[in-house]
Amino acid sequence: MALSKRCLPAKISAPITAAAIAREAGVGRNVLYVGHTDILQEIRTAADARTAVRGKRDDAARADALKVRDLEGRLASMATENASLLLRVRETQSKLGRAEKLNAQLLRQLADARRPVRLRPGDPENPA
């Protein structure tokens, strides 16, 4: 004999007990205990199933909390690494700017060094 939905407690979180079923059915608990052991067994089975579901839900919540903590730790680690890499990029950009300035200066010096120079300013054979 299956428990009818009408006899189950109205509030989903309310415990399924013989007293609750008897109250909903409008009979005394003794009626259940004396003549309806099959219903009592169904009550126990339903209560056990709810407990198992609640346990699985709690286990899943704990597992989710652990995952969240792990992901938060990884996020913090990645943020730290990102900040470190950003600092390295800025330092490298600064070095590149200094190297480009030095390169421009050296190219100017090289161009100056390649210009012809008069060895003797008044010599007509050396018109440079």
- The answer to whether 40 and 32 have CB atoms below 8 angstroms apart is yes
Q: Which amino acid is at 74?
A: R
- The answer to whether 18 and 37 have CB atoms below 8 angstroms apart is no
Give per-residue pLDDT as tens, 15-26: 777 788 788 888
Q: Which long-range contacts (CB under 8 A, 24 or more apart) does 21-29 make?
A: none
- 32 pLDDT tier (thresholds 50, 70, 90): confident
113 to 43, 89, 105, 118: CA distances (angstroms) = 102, 35, 12, 13
What pTM did the predictor assign?
0.48
Position 127 scores a pLDDT of 59
What does the block give as tokens for 69?
Answer: 């903590």
Closest CA to 24 of 45, 1, 13, 32: 32
Give per-residue pLDDT as tens, 61-120: 999 999 999 999 999 999 999 999 999 999 999 999 999 999 999 999 999 999 887 777
